[in-house]
């Protein structure tokens, strides 16, 4: 630490060091950074904005910036840097950092701070930023950067590599580098010459050797071969794990209960409507597996989770790196190594499951699909919106689903489709905050994106649309407007009629057509399924709000009708 009356270090050292840091991030494969305005952070922002290897996305507010980075990191699978100024600005990143921690999303959070001598002494815009994100950060480093000696340049290059490797490897997650910066933030005589270059050939200062892909746990191939009724459950999966699970199930005749978030709802073995099927007690009792392989995070479906918790057969979780996905204490074995190679090795054993096991699931699933379609009819209900999104969104597009009814309706009503959209969501901490910002982050990766969300979630994050306009990003907002939180009507709290409407449902009562136009978006009220299908299939065109109006209480009835129709189809 430099005492206040010590001679000032040569001006501009922090710029030299931060330019080296940004250069090193790019060498480690970081492609994107998000910034928001401020004075103390300006040396960090300058370094990121001037780094040719990074695309920088500027945002007015840090909460939007953080969730945008989450969406971009999810869509690209690579770490995204997020820089902000000191004080409450750094605290605005808390929800995104927690989502990244819970959801396994690689972020490199760079917070500018006052130097130690200006902390807790009444200087402006200071909060305690040391370990601000607590256990959510995989790594915290206090990185004072102001004297650019050759040793300091080597240190900061190595630090950038450490931050990128820590964020992106094992179970990905957020890292926090807190950067105290002293005045003058901009040297009065202009910026000094850049740091000495890094390693030759554009390689990182510290390379990271890949971890060898491990195979399946010892003995699992034999247990799988002996199983009569093996089953795969695929939740939010990383990389190609979902596609590998679909291929594995098809190769061995093993049913794959596939959440749309897994990417496995395709192929010969995928089961789409497990949520509705497992609500039917006789079906759930008859279809008990003797071995369950779980891939990725657990799906959302409560009937599925309850059923898994009550099974006697062995349950093995593959690809869990850094996670213990066992809220019900039902796992027998946990295998951290990537799931894909383990599944490919298991598929190579070639022993197909007992004849009739997959057929029974597929037959029930097909019957459930027909029953759901006929229960829904042509009406534009909330489940119909989800079903239509699953059927009509073009291949190669991305659907971002909000953590209220949309993620559940996608799970229940999405059809099997080999060329369906990629489905993403903030299912780490399950917040409804940041839904629009994260969808925009996914759009910044270049894919056409539709975000399916309710009116409360949209109202919560409307200002993210400022970033859409500033960066000319296209986004289709599929807004289900039931004027409040429809999800709560499924819960006992709906019976507390004295407080429910005001304090739980919280109807926003907003005119979304006017709001959309205010943010430079177009607005269309969608009144039937044909119009919805056409609008969803249309090519991206700026920010479009497609509003579907529904009724919260009626929505509960539609869902009950659907579950009853599936039960009747199974009884028949
Ligand atoms: C940040 C945050 N605050 C509160 C909640 C609790 N919550 C879950 S769903 C929901 C209401 C969502 O309403 P809406 O977006 O209209 O969707 P719908 O329930 O109608 O599908 C709320 C407040 C949450 N998940 N995240």
pLDDT tens, 211-237? Answer: 777 889 999 999 999 999 999 999 998
Among 421, 423, 563, 539, smallest CA distance to 475 is for 539
- Ligand 1 atom closest to 482 (CA): 20
Instruction: Write down the pLDDT at residue 401.
Output: 98
Which protein residues touch ligand 1 with a CB less than 6 Å away?
Answer: 402-405, 430-433, 453-457, 482, 485-487
Exposed, middle or buried, 289 (CB in 10 Å: 0-12/13-18/19+)? buried
Ligand 1 mean position, distance from CA 134 (Å): 25
pLDDT score at 10: 67
DSSP states of 417-448 as a string? -TTPPEEE---SS--STTHHHHHHHHHHTTS-
Instruction: Say how many Å lie between the CA of residue 464 and the centre of ligand 1.
Output: 17
Mutate to test the pocket of ligand 1, among 400, 487, 554 (most ligand atoms within 8 A of CB): 487
pTM for the full predicted model: 0.96
From residue 391, how far is each of 301, 443, 475, 533 by CA, in Å?
Answer: 21, 20, 19, 8
Distance 379 CA to ligand 1 centre (A): 24
From residue 380, how far is each of 169, 187, 240, 314 by CA, in Å?
A: 43, 61, 34, 42
Helix (H) or strand (E) holding 523, with range, is strand 522-525
Q: What distance in angstroms lies between residue 452's CA and the mean position of ligand 1's atoms?
A: 13
- Say how many Å lie between the CA of residue 426 and the centre of ligand 1: 12
DSSP code of residue 494: G
Q: Sheet containing 80-84: which strands, arranged edge to edge?
A: 55-58, 32-35, 80-84, 107-113, 174-180, 139-142
Residues of the chain whose pLDDT is less than 50? 1-4
Please choose from 95, 96, 97, 404 the residue to mutate so as to test ligand 1's pocket, defined by most ligand atoms within 8 A of CB.
404
* C-alpha of residue 457 to centroid of ligand 1, in Å: 6
Alpha carbon of 454 to ligand 1 centroid (Å): 8
Assess contact for 269 and 246: CB atoms under 8 A: yes
Query: Rounded to the nearest whole angstrom, what is the distance from the C-alpha of residue 95 to the centroid of ligand 1?
Result: 15
Which atom of ligand 1 lies closest to the CA of 382? 21
Mutation to probe ligand 1, out of 432, 439, 490, 547 (largest number of atoms < 8 A from CB): 432
Residue 483 Cα: closest atom of ligand 1? 16
Cα distance between residue 229 and residue 69, in whole Å: 42
C-alpha dist (Å) from residue 271 to 194, 296, 342, 376, 540: 57, 16, 21, 20, 30
Which ligand 1 atom lies nearest to the CA of residue 555?
20
Residue 198: the pLDDT is 95
Q: How far apart are CA 474 and CA 497, in angstroms?
A: 41
Q: What is the pLDDT of residue 507?
A: 98
Q: What is the pLDDT of residue 7?
A: 61
Residue nearest to atom 23 of ligand 1 (CA): 485
Tokens of 466: 């400022």
Cα of 436 to ligand 1 centre, how many Å?
13
* Nearest atom of ligand 1 to the alpha carbon of 406: 21
Closest C-alpha residue for ligand 1 atom 12: 485
Q: Which of 300, 425, 436, 456 to mutate to test the pocket of ligand 1 (most atoms within 8 A of CB)?
A: 456
Q: Where are the beta strands (DSSP E) in 270-397?
A: 270-271, 291-295, 314-318, 333-335
CA distance 178 to 181: 10
Measure 484 CA to ligand 1 centroid, in angstroms: 9
Q: In the prediction, which pLDDT does 12 show?
A: 84
Closest residue by Cα to atom 10, ligand 1, is 485
Taking the centre of ligand 1 as the mean of its atom positions, its distance from the CA of residue 486, in whole angstroms, is: 8
């Amino acid at each position: 630490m430099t005492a206040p009356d010590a001679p000032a270090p040569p001006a501009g050292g922090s710029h030299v060091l931060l330019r080296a840091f940004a250069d090193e991030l790019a060498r480690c494969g970081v492609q994107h950074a998000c910034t928001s305005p401020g004075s103390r952070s300006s040396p960090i922002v300058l370094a990121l904005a001037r780094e040719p290897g990074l695309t920088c996305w500027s945002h007015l507010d840090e909460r939007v910036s953080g969730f945008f980075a989450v969406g971009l990191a999810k869509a690209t699978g690579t770490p995204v840097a997020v820089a902000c100024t000191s004080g409450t600005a750094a605290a605005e990143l808390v929800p995104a950092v927690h989502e990244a921690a819970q959801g396994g999303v690689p972020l490199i959070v760079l917070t500018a701070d006052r130097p130690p001598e200006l902390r807790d002494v009444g200087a402006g815009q200071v909060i305690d930023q040391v370990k601000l994100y607590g256990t959510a950060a995989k790594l915290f480093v206090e990185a004072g950067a102001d004297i650019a000696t050759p040793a300091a340049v080597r240190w900061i290059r190595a630090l950038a590599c450490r931050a990128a490797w820590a964020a992106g490897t094992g179970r990905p997650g957020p890292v926090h580098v807190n950067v105290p910066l002293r005045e003058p933030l901009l040297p009065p005589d202009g910026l000094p010459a850049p740091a000495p270059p890094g390693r030759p050939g554009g390689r990182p200062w510290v390379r990271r050797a890949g971890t060898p892909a491990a195979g399946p746990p010892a003995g699992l191939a034999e247990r799988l071969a002996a199983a009569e009724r093996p089953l795969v459950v695929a939740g939010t999966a990383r990389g190609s794990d979902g596609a590998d699970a679909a291929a594995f199930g098809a190769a061995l005749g093993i049913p794959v209960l596939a959440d749309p978030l897994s990417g496995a709802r395709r192929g010969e073995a995928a089961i789409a409507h497990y949520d509705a099927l497992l609500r039917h007690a006789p079906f759930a009792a008859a279809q008990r597996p003797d071995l369950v392989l779980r891939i990725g995070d657990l799906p959302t479906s409560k009937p599925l989770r309850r059923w898994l918790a009550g099974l006697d057969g062995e349950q093995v979780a593959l690809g869990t790196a850094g996670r213990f996905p066992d809220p019900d204490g039902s796992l027998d074995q946990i295998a951290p190594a990537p799931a894909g190679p383990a599944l490919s090795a298991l598929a190579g054993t070639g022993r197909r499951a007992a004849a009739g096991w997959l057929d029974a699931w597929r037959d029930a699933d097909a019957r459930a699909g027909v029953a759901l379609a006929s229960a829904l009819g042509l009406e534009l209900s909330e489940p119909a919106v989800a079903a239509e999104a699953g059927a009509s969104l073009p291949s190669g597009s991305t659907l971002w689903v909000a953590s209220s009814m949309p993620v559940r309706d996608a799970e229940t009503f999405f059809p099997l489709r080999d060329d369906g959209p990629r489905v993403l969501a903030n299912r780490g901490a399950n917040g409804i905050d940041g839904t629009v910002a994260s969808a925009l982050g996914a759009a910044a990766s270049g894919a056409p994106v539709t975000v399916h969300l309710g009116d409360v979630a949209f109202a919560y994050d409307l200002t993210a649309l400022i970033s859409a306009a500033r960066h000319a990003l296209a986004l289709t907002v599929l807004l289900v407007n039931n004027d409040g939180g429809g999800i709560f009507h499924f819960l006992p709290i709906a019976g507390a009629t004295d407080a429910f409407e005001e304090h739980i449902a919280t109807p926003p009562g907003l005119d979304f057509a006017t709001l959309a136009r205010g943010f430079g978006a177009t607005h269309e009220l969608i009144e039937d399924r044909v119009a919805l299908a056409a609008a969803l299939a249309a090519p991206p065109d700026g920010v479009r709000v497609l509003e579907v109006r529904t009724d919260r209480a009626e929505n509960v009835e539609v869902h009950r009708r659907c579950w009853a129709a599936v039960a009747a189809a199974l009884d028949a």
